[in-house]
Structure 1
Amino acid sequence: MNLLSCSSNNCVSSYSLLASTDLSLKSPKTSIELSQLGWKQRKGFESNRSRKSSIVGYYGLKRPPYKLDALEPYISQRMIEVHWGGHHNGYVEALNKQLEKNDVLYGCTLDELIKVTYNNGNPLPEFSNAAEVWNHDFFWESMEPGGGGMPTLGLLQQIEKDFASFANFKEKFARAALTLFGSGWVWLVLKREKRCLAILKTSNAINPLVWNDIPITGLDLWEHAYYLDYKNDKAKYVNTFMNHLVSWNAAAARLVRAQAFVNLGEPKIPVA
């Protein structure tokens, strides 16, 4: 399902992927065929082929940019230890094991790997772990101690332009999060062609990169992200993220970088 409404003063977009059958959405512009990558990484790959350890350790576990207790009392150290050290690390380890068995994918950057394995809506086995590694790296960097509150001026102006008001944006973001059925993510993104902000919700591991959208901030809505601290009170978790955790500094920096590249017509935008 693709719901889109856009005017000169308001741009809101939401992709709601609530079942595996919805994965038929295709994005030709962001499709990367294996033959198109050039595989610069394969130059010398044959000499590494017998050294499986070099493949197993290709993607590492990235630490959050703060101490594990830094988000307390809103997210406990124990919650981050389980979420980052358990779930996030599990995706990294599973991805590396998959790549060990699939030579042709070895050497991709993480965003290339996501686009290749999304396979125009027919995901390859490596997609979910690759996307969840990227999603979690992005998620940790989307929060900061003392976060929440009002966005910085440039980002605030863009939000007010595209959502009429910051209060309206917060309401739409929360509604998207609370109406997502099952596991997934909610995102604030910059739409490349329309050059406006939009809210997306995606199921399971899917992220905005597969549609060529540029993530500005994102919230993990898998139960393992909040259940230890919030039990089944998803609404409290979502509101706490917006009021006390989201890093508007990180979001503003991403927006500035994204807008600069979009205005220059640059096809490859650094998104993290």
Structure 2
Amino acid sequence: MKKRCMHYTFHHGGAVKGANKDLQQIQAALQTGNLETVDYWTKKLSYHLSSHILHSIFWTNLTNKKNDPTGNLLKRIERDFGSYDKLKGYLSKISKDVDGNGWGILGYQPYTDKLTLLQCENHEKLTQWGVIPLLVIDVWEHAYYLKFKNKRNDFVDNLFNIINWGIVAQRLDIALKLS
């Protein structure tokens, strides 16, 4: 629990504090009409708010029991990736191979009505407009260094044992209703 608390409090909490500060700075610039720094604070907000959103999804994607996708989610996985094992292999590979820090993301792309995978460096880079994240894998070093040291691959492999596919399925149902 202590490891998760550090991750949650220090890293995720830092993103929340950062986003709040960024918003305050943007608001101050708008109120004074001095827009010299607004570009800087907008970029910082993108970084911090993306971190907050992805961490918020990450926490709910975890459970203490192994389960597999079922129902409509499984049907879409099979349609878009061929099988659950192929999705797992693909998502695992892109998560392990993120350059530096970032995320592996399973998302729903409403424009194509398909599930898609993203390899996201940092928080705000390499996205597809309109993709709704359903499952995220945090491969920033802070997510795994206490338990797995520098072994990102082991962390990703072990994470599949505690993914809450029921929550992922709920996110897909919501995404389908929104599109």
| TM class by smaller structure | 0.7 to 0.9
Residue by residue over 1:166-225, the C-alpha shift from the partner in whole angstroms, topping out at 9 and shown as x without a partner, is: 111111011111111100001001111110111111100127876111111111110001
User: 1:105: how far off?
Assistant: 9.0
Alpha carbons 1:131, 1:207 under 8 Å: kept: no
- Report the residue type matching 1:125 in the other structure: K
In 2, the alpha carbon distance for the partners of 1:168 and 1:133 equals: 29
In 2, the alpha carbon distance for the partners of 1:207 and 1:249 equals: 28
User: 1:165: how far off?
Assistant: 0.9
Identify, as 1 or 2, the structure richer in helix: 2
Structure 2 gaps, min length 5: 31-37
SS at match of 2:44: coil
Residue by residue over 1:16-47, the C-alpha shift from the partner in whole angstroms, topping out at 9 and shown as x without a partner, is: xxxxxxxxxxxxxxxxxxxxxxxxxxxxxxxx
> RMSD value over aligned CA atoms?
2.2
User: 1:132: how far off?
Assistant: 0.8
Quote the residue 1:261 is aligned against.
178
2:83 matched to 1:165? yes
The structure with the largest alpha-carbon Rg is 1
2:37 matched to 1:91? no
Alpha carbons 1:145, 1:245 under 8 Å: kept: yes
In 2, the alpha carbon distance for the partners of 1:98 and 1:259 equals: 32
Quote the residue 1:6 is aligned against.
none
In 2, the alpha carbon distance for the partners of 1:175 and 1:105 equals: 43
2:132 matched to 1:214? yes
Q: 1:154 to 1:207 in 2, by over 3 A?
A: farther
User: 1:125: how far off?
Assistant: 2.5
SS at match of 1:245: coil
In 2, the alpha carbon distance for the partners of 1:134 and 1:208 equals: 16
Alpha carbons 1:187, 1:217 under 8 Å: kept: yes
Residue by residue over 1:238-261, the C-alpha shift from the partner in whole angstroms, topping out at 9 and shown as x without a partner, is: 11111x211101100011111122
The TM-score, its normalising length taken from structure 2, stands at 0.87
Equivalent position to 1:234, from 130, 152, 156:
152
SS at match of 1:101: helix
Alpha carbons 1:135, 1:207 under 8 Å: kept: no
SS at match of 2:123: coil
- Report the residue type matching 1:255 in the other structure: L
Q: Identity of paired residues, percent?
A: 28
The TM-score, its normalising length taken from structure 1, stands at 0.58
Alpha carbons 1:189, 1:208 under 8 Å: kept: no
Equivalent position to 1:248, from 161, 165, 172:
165
Quote the residue 2:59 is aligned against.
140
